[in-house]
Structure 1
């Protein structure tokens, strides 16, 4: 009989270690678990990270929302998801506090515990590492969840790393939805265009006319671009999303984007001369 795809035994753990899972930084990082390695009990996602220039493996909608918030922040340098904890340390912590270590129910092999996100942050206060785990609020009272959290908390306390739990209650719904809408528009590369530099030209036209269109509705401005500058249907909004995704235009992320709002509700931060995304 074939071995369960999602089960863990010691040989599989050693193979993952040999593959370098849980090691590396930025584009070279390999998460301990990918979406192919876990049973699908919810919606999983593979999302390109603008900070890291690699695909991130996210195992729930909550993880996806938290990832999008990290990826948006200018202070974030690196995001490492499904980060493995040293099993010898977590075993010792479990023994010290008198709880059972997480194990595979079939093989009885002690599992490698993971933290959803380990994030490098650099801002005016300096550089630091934070660790965050997502968990639905409804599961916080579960005794076994609390036990595993205590192992995780003590682990990161030993590493002198700020660890915390984020729940669905704390994720700002409107902000996450806006970031989902903007995230794929960080770059316009890969789209079919009639000539090289097409999107750069479109970005230049929008940028040059933005302030003079301040009292016009966004939807009306897009229609004006089609009538006076030969934009195809939808191209005006595409450029606006691109500018928002690259923070050349600023919107209130905690409110739903409204195409009937006036242009001046979106503030342009600087002239834009290229259709390429800004560097992270």
Structure 2
């Protein structure tokens, strides 16, 4: 599964022209559009599909509907199924967790940001096993106090680490109720190698 999968700009520009829709742009420069997820599956007859997650509220915006039309047409022309998912189609807890992670996913990180993230990754890898029964949010408060971080800094960093899949948890559990034992860490060596490749 790939997140924020970029769509070919030349094709989305062509689709916008055909549909009479203004292409997303920033100060007159056409931007790349993306689908939230592109999933490669072993399911027979549907080996790949694209997925866009939107709140029902988002459909009140005509501009959002236009962009979804462009995205749907893009995938139709690629002969790849396009699925649109709202909070009405998935459990509320899962939807809320996806929102938390989505809002903390970041784009390409520079070397300083990677180094900072690695420090927090190592800190959480050390602390989580020591506080298995403690709620994750309480551990974050504890770490902010012990390391004199700004209040909320540790919670922000663990959300970033989760969004970047450096830790994993059962997405059906409410984030606020997670205990330290609910998180499992990725292999640090593999992550560091991936970071070296990406920088």
TM-score by length of 2: 0.55
Query: 2:67 maps to which residue?
Result: none
Given the alignment, which residue of 199, 220, 238 partners 2:138? 220
SS of equivalent to 1:238 = helix
- Is the Cα–Cα contact under 8 Å of residues 101 and 163 in structure 2 kept in the other structure? yes
Query: 1:266 maps to which residue?
Result: 183
2:48 and 2:178 mapped to 1: Cα distance? 40
Deviation, structure 1 residue 241:
0.6
2:127 and 2:81 mapped to 1: Cα distance? 46
2:50 and 2:7 mapped to 1: Cα distance? 19
Q: 1:166 to 1:198 in 2, by over 3 A?
A: closer
Q: Which has the higher contact order (CA 8 A, sep 6+)?
A: 2
2:184 and 2:172 mapped to 1: Cα distance? 15
Q: Structure 1: which 5+ runs fail to align?
A: 1-24, 39-44, 47-53, 58-66, 77-120, 137-151
Deviation, structure 1 residue 222:
1.0
Query: 1:244 maps to which residue?
Result: 162
1:189 and 1:162 mapped to 2: Cα distance? 27
Q: 1:196 to 1:221 in 2, by over 3 A?
A: same
Deviation, structure 1 residue 245:
0.9
- Is the Cα–Cα contact under 8 Å of residues 167 and 183 in structure 2 kept in the other structure? yes
SS of equivalent to 1:197 = helix
RMSD over equivalenced CA pairs, Å? 4.8
Given the alignment, which residue of 93, 98, 104 partners 1:174? 93
Q: 1:185 to 1:128 in 2, by over 3 A?
A: same
Size of the aligned set, in residue pairs, is 160
Deviation, structure 1 residue 219:
2.2
SS of equivalent to 1:187 = coil
- Is the Cα–Cα contact under 8 Å of residues 9 and 33 in structure 2 kept in the other structure? no
Query: 1:143 maps to which residue?
Result: none
1:167 and 1:198 mapped to 2: Cα distance? 34
- Is the Cα–Cα contact under 8 Å of residues 131 and 161 in structure 1 kept in the other structure? no
Larger radius of gyration: 1
Q: Structure 2: which 5+ runs fail to align?
A: 26-30, 57-71
Query: 1:56 maps to which residue?
Result: 33
Given the alignment, which residue of 186, 191, 194 partners 2:105? 186
